[in-house]
Structure 1
Amino acid sequence: MTVSVVLFTSDLRLHDNPVLRAALRDAERIVPLFVYDDGLRATGFAVPNRSAFLADCLEDLDSGLRERGGRLVVRSGDVVEQVHRVVTETGAARVHVAAGVSRYAARREERLRAALGDTGCRLVVHDAVVTAVAPGELLPSGKDHYAVFTPYFRRWTSEGVRDFLAAPRAVRVADVASEPVPARAEITGVSPGLAAGGESTGRRRLRAWLSDGIAGYEDGHDDIAGDATSRLSPHLHFGTLSAAEVIHGASREGSPGAQAFVRQLAWRDFHHQVLAARPAAAAQDYRSHGDRWRADKKEIAAWCDGRTGYPFVDAAMRQLRHEGWMHNRGRMVVASFLTKTLYVDWRVGARHFLSLLVDGDVANNQMNWQWAAGTGTDTRPNRVLNPVIQGKRFDPDGSYVRRWLPELEGVPDRYIHEPWKLQGPDRASLDHADHADHADYPDPIVELAEGRARFEQARGA
């Protein structure tokens, strides 16, 4: 009896999974394996929100495998040791795994190849599983990656993505021991509004998005109160949906909204190819400006807690804490505020995001933070997003702000993004309202003009 191991990482799905399909072609029986890796825990991956979503994903993956006659095998410990143990127990001839772009993924691949060398088992690494296009597939002349998005997007668009792979009808699993599949209920510290995970949930959300949401994406994607985005990012991060399938579905829809949405998926691939070529960018400036960042602990704490005195910033930060997710417009504004108005190191913000974001991964989180800080691929590194102007433009009646800042519920629309300007009859009216808690909302921790001037002087802009 021939056996292959499928090492699930960021591809927790049965549909459109080249790793799983290749293993099933290889062998009579497989071991669908997920390892709770001590190494990933040590890097800070196992924060409550992602751990809870992951538990949903594994439970759903196990259920889908059981419907096809199989089951998920779960182990804990060092990933290389556990894979080696499963190979020894089953006599597996191949281990299949999706390629990653982080330093950790590259090191895991190296260690697996070395550990399996004395077993006669071959490691097979599959590209274009986590992304739509493999990170190293599109290269500009004489360079190892694209540093600017627009030319990358032109190549990416002309390249096309691989064909969709159907889910297997049957899965036969080798006889090997497994730990119990974990449950979300066992995890503490989870954001109360965290969405459910799993392939079944992701596929339902994708169908609904393609049917009812994507056509309006071009016009509505910045409507932060209307929340007219797909919310598919956690499913793409954990691989309960494949980027290739999402792109195929969007392309069939064909509207301007679908085209705008596909462009965002290209940004995701773009960041992966940057990090694959420059893995140090996960912790170091991609393009350094010699910044001497400030480290005011009170200001950083105010930003983390949503108490900066700027309602648009604070609403987004409170959404992050409650849901483990934030609208992309909010991410851009809060990142600009931290790095350019407060002039705080982007790594501080990136770490805070990774402590809460259910969709937080190294490539997208770190490279987006660098873009916002002007140390990454942005061709205008000194741009500053004014949170008041952004709020008035993208939340004109303050619906989003009021949703997350109940203490500002009674503030008139014209003051909702500048509550410190309230005076006279408006102030008196607010102070006498039954729901008025305005006194509990802080004044701005910094003047915007002061912050901008400080940043521009530091950058020599």
Structure 2
Amino acid sequence: MTTSVVLFTRDLRLHDHPPLRAALDGSDAVVPLFVRDRAVDAAGFAAPNRLAFLADCLHDLDAGLRERGGHLVVRSGDLVDQVCAVAAEAEADEVHMASDVSGHAHRREERLRDALGAGGRRLHVHDAVTTVLAPGAVTPASSDHFAVFTPYHRRWSECSVREALAAPRKVRVPDGVGSEPLPGRSDLTGLSPGLAAGGEREARKRLTAWLRDGITGYADRHDDLAGDDTSRLSPHLHFGALSPVELVHRARAKGGAGAEAFVRQVAWRDFHAQVLSARPRASTADYRTRHDRWRTGARADEDIAAWKEGRTGYPIVDAAMRQLRHEGWMHNRARLLTASFLTKTLYVDWRVGARHFLDLLVDGDVANNQMNWQWAAGTGTDTRPHRVLNPLTQARRFDPDGAYVRRWVPELAGLEGRYVHEPWRLTGRERAEYDAYPDPVVDLGEGLDRFKRARGRE
């Protein structure tokens, strides 16, 4: 009997899973394996919200495998050591896994290939599992990756997308390969109260509902903060409980302006993946340096704390930061405006904000999080690196009735009209009634002047 190991990483599903399909087609039995990689913990990426969502995904994956006659094997420790140990226990000749884009993923793949090869085993790495197109599938003539989204999207849209694969009907797992117990949410503390549930079943249910009820109006409503007319599929994509390939096929089959706008957002995800794959250092270093001398010291620390806690005195910013803490998720428009506020209005290093987001975001993806933060800071791929998103302009445009602010900043729930976005304009007894809400940490004009001076654009 021939046996293969299928290493699950950020592809925790059974539908449209090329590594699993290849292993099943080429072997009599497979070992579905997930390794709780201690290197991820050591690097500080094992945030409670993501660990809880991961636990949901692993339980759901195991349940799906059991329905097909198999089960999930879970191990903890050094990923390379554990994969090699499982392959030896199962007498497997091959290991199949999905490719990934971070520097850690690249190094992990190289180590695993060498270690397996030393034991006479082969590693097969499959592209287009966690992204629609593999990084490097399209490149400009003069570089190994696209640095600007629009030309990338043009080429990306012209490419054919592989067909989505059906989930297997049967999975045979050999005897004698031990597993640790599956992790659970009950083992964790510090979770966001409104954290969503994970798992492939939940992802597919949400996708079906989105295609039925939400995607048609996406082009017109996706920036409406109060309406929250977004798919909320990003956590499921991050953990691979949902295939981006299947998502694009089903969205395009739905058709219309909403689907087109939504698929464009999926292309942004691929764009960031190909940037980080080509430039792994961009996870911690400026992609394009502006020679910033970011603010530090006691006053900057106070501003950072106010930003994290949602008490900057700018209601739209504070509403977004409180949503993040409560749900472990934030509307994309809110992510952009809060990032711009920290990096340009407060002139604080983008890495501070990116780290805070990764501490809380259930969809905390290195490529998308870091590259979006760099875009907002003007050190990334934005073709207008010095643009500043004015929080009042953003509030009037994307929360005109103040419903988003009133939902997340209850101190201001009784305010009507424009004052909900500018409570500091209240005077006398009215201001005293809302004195639980702080005054702005900085005047917008002063913040803009400081940023312009720092960037030499006075």
Aligned residue in 1 for 2:312? 308
Aligned residue in 2 for 1:11? 11
After the TM superposition, which of the residue ranges 231-240 and 182-191 deviates more from structure 2?
182-191
Superposed displacement of residue 181, structure 1 = 1.0
Instruction: Note the alpha carbon deviations across 1:116-169, whole angstroms, 9 max, x for none.
Output: 122111000011111000011101113100011111001000002110100000
Write the distance in 2 (CA, Å) between the matches of 1:57 and 1:405: 32
Per the alignment, in what secondary structure is the counterpart of residue 117 of structure 1? helix
Question: Aligned pair 1:324/2:328, yes or no?
Answer: yes
Aligned residue in 2 for 1:110? 110
Per the alignment, in what secondary structure is the counterpart of residue 383 of structure 1? coil
Write the distance in 2 (CA, Å) between the matches of 1:162 and 1:444: 51
Aligned residue in 2 for 1:377? 381
- Provide TM-score, normalisation by structure 2: 0.98
Per the alignment, in what secondary structure is the counterpart of residue 344 of structure 1? coil
Aligned residue in 2 for 1:365? 369
Per the alignment, in what secondary structure is the counterpart of residue 250 of structure 1? helix
Matches within 5 A, 1:7-406: 7-175=7-175, 176-295=177-296, 296-406=300-410
Give the letter aligned to residue 287 of structure 2: Y
Write the distance in 1 (CA, Å) between the matches of 2:262 and 2:246: 13
Aligned residue in 2 for 1:457? 453
Superposed displacement of residue 178, structure 1 = 0.5
Give the letter aligned to residue 115 of structure 2: A
Give the letter aligned to residue 276 of structure 1: S
Superposed displacement of residue 287, structure 1 = 0.4
Give the letter aligned to residue 437 of structure 2: Y
Unaligned 5+ segments in structure 2 are none
Superposed displacement of residue 423, structure 1 = 2.0
Write the distance in 1 (CA, Å) between the matches of 2:427 and 2:45: 47
Write the distance in 2 (CA, Å) between the matches of 1:45 and 1:95: 25
Aligned residue in 1 for 2:411? 407
Write the distance in 2 (CA, Å) between the matches of 1:160 and 1:201: 28
Instruction: Note the alpha carbon deviations across 1:43-72, whole angstroms, 9 max, x for none.
Output: 112110000000000000000000000000
Per the alignment, in what secondary structure is the counterpart of residue 31 of structure 1? strand
Question: Aligned pair 1:444/2:440, yes or no?
Answer: yes
Give the letter aligned to residue 254 of structure 2: E
Write the distance in 2 (CA, Å) between the matches of 1:141 and 1:118: 38
Instruction: Note the alpha carbon deviations across 1:2-44, whole angstroms, 9 max, x for none.
Output: 1100000000000001011111111101000000110111111
Give the letter aligned to residue 447 of structure 1: D
Write the distance in 1 (CA, Å) between the matches of 2:174 and 2:81: 19
Give the letter aligned to residue 35 of structure 1: V
Write the distance in 2 (CA, Å) between the matches of 1:287 and 1:455: 17
Give the letter aligned to residue 11 of structure 2: D
Identical aligned residues as a percent: 68
The number of residue pairs the alignment matches comes to 453
- Provide TM-score, normalisation by structure 1: 0.97
Write the distance in 2 (CA, Å) between the matches of 1:16 and 1:308: 44
Unaligned 5+ segments in structure 1 are none
Write the distance in 1 (CA, Å) between the matches of 2:55 and 2:159: 35
Write the distance in 1 (CA, Å) between the matches of 2:118 and 2:408: 57
Write the distance in 2 (CA, Å) between the matches of 1:421 and 1:379: 35
Superposed displacement of residue 187, structure 1 = 1.1
Per the alignment, in what secondary structure is the counterpart of residue 35 of structure 2? strand
Write the distance in 2 (CA, Å) between the matches of 1:445 and 1:255: 44
Give the letter aligned to residue 237 of structure 1: H
RMSD over aligned Cα atoms = 0.9
Write the distance in 1 (CA, Å) between the matches of 2:220 and 2:281: 37
Per the alignment, in what secondary structure is the counterpart of residue 45 of structure 1? coil
Write the distance in 1 (CA, Å) between the matches of 2:50 and 2:172: 29
Write the distance in 1 (CA, Å) between the matches of 2:154 and 2:397: 30
Write the distance in 2 (CA, Å) between the matches of 1:342 and 1:251: 41
Write the distance in 1 (CA, Å) between the matches of 2:337 and 2:185: 32
Aligned residue in 2 for 1:422? 426
Per the alignment, in what secondary structure is the counterpart of residue 386 of structure 2? coil
Give the letter aligned to residue 387 of structure 1: P
Write the distance in 1 (CA, Å) between the matches of 2:49 and 2:19: 26
Superposed displacement of residue 182, structure 1 = 1.4
Give the letter aligned to residue 32 of structure 1: P
Superposed displacement of residue 413, structure 1 = 1.6
Instruction: Note the alpha carbon deviations across 1:82-128, whole angstroms, 9 max, x for none.
Output: 00100111111100111010000001001101111221110000111
Write the distance in 1 (CA, Å) between the matches of 2:180 and 2:380: 42
Per the alignment, in what secondary structure is the counterpart of residue 76 of structure 2? strand
Per the alignment, in what secondary structure is the counterpart of residue 216 of structure 1? helix
Per the alignment, in what secondary structure is the counterpart of residue 97 of structure 2? strand
Write the distance in 1 (CA, Å) between the matches of 2:216 and 2:16: 24
Give the letter aligned to residue 409 of structure 1: A
Superposed displacement of residue 255, structure 1 = 1.1
Write the distance in 1 (CA, Å) between the matches of 2:400 and 2:160: 39
Per the alignment, in what secondary structure is the counterpart of residue 82 of structure 2? helix
